[in-house]
Amino acid sequence: MVGKDKLQTNRTCPNCKTNMESKITNWTFFCRNCGLWTSNLGSKENRLLREMDVSQKDRIKGLHSIRLENATITRRAFEKHDTLHGKTLCDVGSGYGWFNQVFEEGGAQVLGIEPEKIVAKQARVKTRIGYFPNALKRGERFDIISFNDVFEHMNHPSKVLEEVHKRLNKKGKLIVSVPSSGGLFYRLIPVFHKLGYREPWNRLWQCEFNSPHVLYFNSNNLKALIEKKGFRQIDKGRLKTFELRGLKNRINTGKGTGKIISCLLFAVLVLTYPLINYIFPSDSIFQIFEKV
């Protein structure tokens, strides 16, 4: 999996600049001051060690319904503060364009930016292939910029936020959704890891996927990092961790998930569905900010 040499043993927290300590594994780091987690999975040498990509079919089936549902939850929260009619929206890392579809139905003029050509081509909404902000035209600005399950992959989140600030119109809104380290799974999985069952921790960080996680926020450190860059939080909430429809495909998406383990995991998730999605601390959160 991850090579042992060339791994950093300490680093500075991108949020509060405190020295981070290596925790759980030698490739994950924790900030005692603000609770932010980082990994070095975004570095080039580790990228070369990952061979696997996710099969397109499982990826689409596994994520479609949950992403649509979470986009609808986010849209309802947004509409409590502002109308979508006539607003321009740029969704960064837009994937198949599902988030944009939901916001377009609400009246927004949407644009997606997606680096994976094969994915971008399947989007039903206007999508440009490339990265933020390079894919944008000179001086191009929006009323809303969104990052859905994207921010946790960023190597330089502060720089990205500075660019978002420049690319938003006056009183523009920033929408961010991320997996949360305050969630139930993130709290439970280190216990499994200590018992020698390491696959869930690797999976949490997507370390064998093409695009692994390099940051793991909680509600407080996400807000702190973003507000430092000239934004004010106006709303926040929980998103669903999984939907029953598509769940089997999502479980099958990971490499090395044996059949018995997959079936067991499926059964446990079905039985605990209401607790995980409504009662326990959520593993997926969104926050909405206004440019100040």
Token output for 211: 């695009």
Which residue, chain included where needed, has tokens 């399947």?
122
Give the C-alpha separation, 209 to 215, whole Å: 15
- Compare residues 54 and 214 and give the one whose CB is closer to Zn ion: 214
Q: Tell me how far, at minimum, the Cβ of 290 lies from Zn ion, in Å.
A: 24
State the residues that interact with Zn ion by CB under 5 A: 13, 15-16, 18, 31, 33-34, 36
Q: Tell me how far, at minimum, the Cβ of 16 lies from Zn ion, in Å.
A: 3
Q: Tell me how far, at minimum, the Cβ of 32 lies from Zn ion, in Å.
A: 8
User: Residues 118, 56: contact at Cβ < 8 Å?
Assistant: yes
Cα dihedral 37, 212, 224, 102 sign: negative
Q: Tell me how far, at minimum, the Cβ of 10 lies from Zn ion, in Å.
A: 13
Q: Tell me how far, at minimum, the Cβ of 215 lies from Zn ion, in Å.
A: 11
β-pair type (28-30, 37-39) = antiparallel
Burial of 231 by CB count in 10 Å (0-12 exposed, 13-18 middle, 19+ buried)? buried
- Compare residues 7 and 16 and give the one whose CB is closer to Zn ion: 16
Q: Tell me how far, at minimum, the Cβ of 14 lies from Zn ion, in Å.
A: 8
User: Residues 42, 34: contact at Cβ < 8 Å?
Assistant: no
- Compare residues 18 and 155 and give the one whose CB is closer to Zn ion: 18
Q: Tell me how far, at minimum, the Cβ of 110 lies from Zn ion, in Å.
A: 34
- Compare residues 16 and 77 and give the one whose CB is closer to Zn ion: 16
- Compare residues 15 and 148 and give the one whose CB is closer to Zn ion: 15
Give the C-alpha separation, 11 to 6, whole Å: 13
- Compare residues 277 and 287 and give the one whose CB is closer to Zn ion: 287
Residue 185, C-beta contacts closer than 8 angstroms, at least 6 positions apart: 200, 204, 241, 283
Cα dihedral 90, 70, 211, 156 sign: positive
User: Inter-axis angle of helices 56-79 and 98-105, to 10 degrees?
Assistant: 30
SS3 content of the chain, % helix, strand, coil (to 5): 35, 25, 40
- Compare residues 19 and 272 and give the one whose CB is closer to Zn ion: 19
Instruction: Give the DSSP letter of residue 275.
Output: I
